[in-house]
Structures are given as C-alpha cells and as structure tokens.
Structure 1
Amino acid sequence: MDTRQLRAFLAVVETGGISSAAEQLGYAQSSVSDQLRTLERDLGVPVLNRTSVGTVPTEAGQRLLPYARRLLDLDGEMRRSVSGRRPLLRIGALQSLADEWLPELLTAFDHGAAGPDTADVTVTVSNRGRLMEELRAGHLDAVFTLDSGPGHDGPSAVVGHDRVVLVTAPSHPLASVHPLTLDDVRRAEFLVTEIGCIYRQCFDEFGRDVGPSLKIAMITGSLNALRRLAVNGRGAALLPRFSVQAELESGDLVILDLKEGPVPLTVEARWREDLGPAEAPLRALVELTQKFSPASWAMA
C-alpha cells in the first residue's frame, strides 16, 4: 500500500466516480482503477461499491476513510518537516470574515506577532455549512464562523462578538424615520443573501419576529454586491456591523433606529483535534485573534 492508492481511494469517495477522480488527480482512468485494485488486493477486502448512481465506499471502505486521511496528513507533515518547511495550517472562513478581518490577522501572524509558532496558511472561503463539512471531513484544520449553530464535537473558542445591524443608504426613506416601528419595516424592501448563508438565516429569523410579509427586492450570493446595492439605495439590508463599519464611518450607510433587532452574533474558531505540528501555530493564531478584532466588535 502507498499514498497513491489512498489518494485514489479518497478522490473516488469525494467525487463519486472513477472518471471524475481521475480528472481531479490528473491521472488516466485506467491508472486510478489499477491503484484501487492494488489497494483492495493488499487489504483483502473490497473498499468501493460501484452502483448505478456512482461509486460509494463499502462498510470496510467507511472504516478505511479516517485512516486514509490521517495517513495522508502524516505523509504531508513528514515531507514538510524533513524538507525544513513550516507546518501547513488549512483554515476556512466566511466571506465577510475573510474580507474584513483575516488579511490583517494573517499578515501579523506571518510576521511573528503570535510568537515563534508559525505556519504556512491556506484559506478556504465558503458558507458555514460547507466549512463545517470540510472540517469534519479533515480537509480543513480550523474554521472561523459566526454564531454557534449546530454543535461541534471538537475544540472551539469564542474570538469575538458582533451584532447584525439594519442598514440603508442615508437617502432611503426609512433613514429619516425616528423612531422606526415594525410597521415601517414591513413596508421596506430588503436585499438578502442566498439560502444557506448566516446572514440569510438572520433575515429569516428577523422576518419571523416582525411578521412573514417582508419584501425581498434582490437576492445575491455576494456580500460585497449586497453592500454596494445598499449604498446605492436599492433597499435595506441586515449585515454584521464589522462588515459595514467603513461605510458607516464614511456616511455611505446608516443604521436604522429599530429597538427590536436580531440577536448578537458570536465569532468562533473551531478546529480538529490531533493536528500534529500545526496545533501549536493554530493555538497561537487563536490567541492572536483577540488583538486583531474589528473595532465594531467592541460595540456589540
């Protein structure tokens, strides 16, 4: 057994087929099939089951999965250590955190602000559900997310607090209404993110609180686009304060005076156990987050 066979096995499990696995790995299909046959011959049991809807792991294959991932992680760690390179730390983050917070944090981390424990960092940006899937699958070592959401079996730490604010352009009709009532809000048109995004979840919860008839003017998968649409007066938006802090300071956006608002957000770091050489750099990075919190977190 060697790492090529394990990589072929994992690629098939992740993509659901030999042809797509071959494309992902850059191999010929016949090469992937040969690797899988060798792996099954070495283990003495079939690890994959070819079905009409794709290729799935057998019961033995399911047991093999965590070991295969661990062995490939160890192989990568060994090669980096022997060659004198720093550990690899694979982190994931929501788009808003990646845009507004991580660049300064990771630059400081890379320049030794967290002490001698450093690492080469890769960043994956996605929605919360996808990030947690990647963490559980072992494709990410740690994720930075908003809100608590479903439970996480591994270690975690709260690194900040923020709150969702209801914002519009200063020219928006609601911007001059003080105090703002729920009836006023029900007459507004909202800019929202796609289903599956934490900010869409906040909007849906807000809608349940104020009534089911909130009007959606536009749905976008881009937080930056939503922010620009709000600046241009296209509607109201519920966004984390740190993501619109610059627009609030410049006067491009204003916070609406609404007492009944969404609950505060918790900013969390969650990570896998047994990270090996990457564990010390990760803990140093988590500690460093307290020094590089957006200014708005202090206002939450």
Structure 2
Amino acid sequence: MNIFHLQALMAVVERGSFSAAALELDVSQAAISRAIAALEDELGVPLLHRGRFGAYPTQTGERLLPCAKQMLDLRQQMEQEVQQTKGLHGGQVRIASFRSAATHLLPSKIVQFRDRFPQIEVTLTESDPTTVEQLLREGKVDIGLVPLPRSTEFDTWEIARDEFVVLLPHRNPTLPEQLTWEMLADQEFILYNYAECTSAVREHWAKWGRSLKATYEMKEDSTIVSMVAQGLGAAILPRLAAMPIPESIAVRSLPVPLERVIGAAVVAEMLHPPAVFAFLDLLRGTGIFQSRR
C-alpha cells in the first residue's frame, strides 16, 4: 500500500469514475486501474463496484474510506510541518504585550517555542495596549497581545479569557461566596487608572443599574492590590492583573460575571515570515502546536 493507491481510491469515489479520477490526479486511466487493483489485492477484498455508469464503493470500501482519508490527512499534515520547519532555521519574532499577559501568559510560551526552534530569536516588549497597537502599525513588532476587540486594521485571534474579580480586605470571616450588588454598593473602590479596564467595569455596573463609588484611582495594579491588602478599599481587576494575590485578600466573582478577552493581533494583509506564523500557531494551539489527543 502506498499513498498514491489511497489517493486513487479517494479520487475515484469522489469523481465517480476512473477516467475522472485520472484527470484529477493528472495520470493515465491505466495507472488508476493498476493502483486500485494493487490496493484490492493487498487487502484481499473488492473496494469498488465497476459498471457502465461509473464506479462506487462496495460495502467494505465504504467502511474503509474514513481510514483512507485520515491517512491522507496525516500525510498532508506531515508535509505542512516539514515545509514550515524548513523556513524556521533563523529569523526572529518580535512580540509586544500589556503587562499581565506578558507576565503570566507569554514566558512559558516563549520557552516552549525556543525549545522547538532554538535558532529563532524571540523578543518581548511590555507596554499598554494602545502603544502595542502603534508598535504593530510602525512595523516595530510582529505580534501584539491586546484585549479584544480591536480595530479592523488588525487580524486577531482569541487566546485566553480573564475574569474580572472583586478583591476585598479579608477582615470579615463570614464574607459570602456569592456577592450581591447591594453588598458591593457599600464598598469604597480603588480603581485602575487605565481607560479600557476602568471603562469596562463602569459600563458593566451601569448596565445593571448600579453606580461605582471610587475613592482612589491608581496607575499600577500592584499598588491597588497592596492597598486592598492594607484594608484601604476594595477593587475590581482582571485576575491576571491582580496576581499574585496575597492571602490577606478575599477574591470573589461579580454578581454578574465579566471577562476580558485576550487576543493575539497582527497587521492585516501584511506578509509575515514563517517564524511569526509558527508563534501564532503556538498561541492558538493550531498547526504544528495543535494538541494531540
């Protein structure tokens, strides 16, 4: 059995005749006939019915078609991996990301990528999402990690979801697991002085007819966590932005959950080297980094 035998079988079944299969594979009809005969001889069973009006699979042939297709798909996947690897013997991947994704999502990915492609240089720049977008536009980085959605000038893919959590001083041992809006209305909040996160939280509260009492607005998420730990107020942050969370802080979900979607972005309609597409495959769990089950 060889790959051409399987290709011939699939072509005959899909096209309905030996002559049409020959045209598709750009070989002679005799070559198709020999391939099918060799395959049937090796397996010891007829795979096709031949007649004046074409060819179609026998009952046994019908059962074997999924196996043949799977073998051809695996062969195609092997070819794609080989072709991609041929273009991955050098070069670089330049990444920019906002802090919490750079801290908690990317390091393990970079290690995994460098283990697979040690000759490719990977650089990482940490900045806010607006600056990440500008770096992409200017061609200074290849891939950006940003909250979604973004402008249509970028192609984006979701790679993770991050829940907004309520951080509360752990002074009340009877604090319930499920908070209500009424419980939160009495809290004084320390907000993240960053437009996208703050806007998302305020809009979420407003959607449910609530107002947010803000006492402090801080630039650094680590400062907010420290202030909550000291009992200066409560906070609402994406979980990754709050990590590591001290034991002196109670973590709860909002009464109605809120998430931010973290995505990988590249400039749309721009040509990228194989190394960039390989790192995108790693982030998305596709292609050569698709998980095998």
Report the TM range for the smaller structure's normalisation. 0.5 to 0.7
CA RMSD in angstroms comes to 3.2
Q: Tell me, yes or no, if structure 1 residue 111 matches structure 2 residue 115.
A: yes
Q: Which residue number corresponds to residue 223 of structure 2?
A: 225
* Residues 169/182 of structure 1: CA separation in 2 closer, same or farther (3 Å cut): same
Superposition pairs of residues 124-139 of structure 1, within 5 angstroms: 124-139=125-140
Q: Which residue number corresponds to residue 283 of structure 1?
A: 280
Indicate if the aligned counterparts of 1:199 and 1:238 stay in contact, CA closer than 8 A.
no
**Runs of 4 or more consecutive aligned structure 1 residues displaced over 6 Å after TM superposition:** none
* Residues 210/230 of structure 1: CA separation in 2 closer, same or farther (3 Å cut): farther
Q: Which residue number corresponds to residue 64 of structure 1?
A: none
Please give the per-residue CA displacement for 1:215-245, whole angstroms capped at 9, x wherever unaligned: 2222222122222222222221112223446
* Residues 132/221 of structure 1: CA separation in 2 closer, same or farther (3 Å cut): same
Q: Which residue number corresponds to residue 183 of structure 2?
A: 184
Please give the per-residue CA displacement for 1:155-176, whole angstroms capped at 9, x wherever unaligned: 3221122221112131269x72
Query: Out of 204, 211, 218, which is 1:206 matched to?
Result: 204
Indicate if the aligned counterparts of 2:192 and 2:237 stay in contact, CA closer than 8 A.
no
* Residues 205/289 of structure 1: CA separation in 2 closer, same or farther (3 Å cut): farther
User: d(CA) in 1 for partners of 2:124 and 2:286?
Assistant: 16
Consecutive unaligned residues of structure 1, counting only runs of 5 or more, are: 1-83, 293-300
Query: Out of 222, 233, 248, which is 1:235 matched to?
Result: 233
Q: Tell me, yes or no, if structure 1 residue 166 matches structure 2 residue 166.
A: yes
3-state SS in 1 of match to 2:204: helix
Please give the per-residue CA displacement for 1:8-67, whole angstroms capped at 9, x wherever unaligned: xxxxxxxxxxxxxxxxxxxxxxxxxxxxxxxxxxxxxxxxxxxxxxxxxxxxxxxxxxxx
Task: Name which one, 1 or 2, has greater alpha-carbon Rg.
Answer: 2
Q: Tell me, yes or no, if structure 1 residue 97 matches structure 2 residue 101.
A: yes
3-state SS in 1 of match to 2:136: helix
> More deviation in 95-104 or 176-185?
176-185
TM-score by length of 2: 0.58
Consecutive unaligned residues of structure 2, counting only runs of 5 or more, are: 1-87
Superposition pairs of residues 135-154 of structure 1, within 5 angstroms: 135-146=136-147, 148-154=148-154
How many residue pairs match? The answer is: 199
Shift, 1:144, TM fit:
0.9
* Residues 280/260 of structure 1: CA separation in 2 closer, same or farther (3 Å cut): closer
Q: Tell me, yes or no, if structure 1 residue 271 matches structure 2 residue 266.
A: yes
TM-score by length of 1: 0.57
Identical counterparts, % of pairs: 21
Amino acid corresponding to residue 235 of structure 1 in structure 2: G
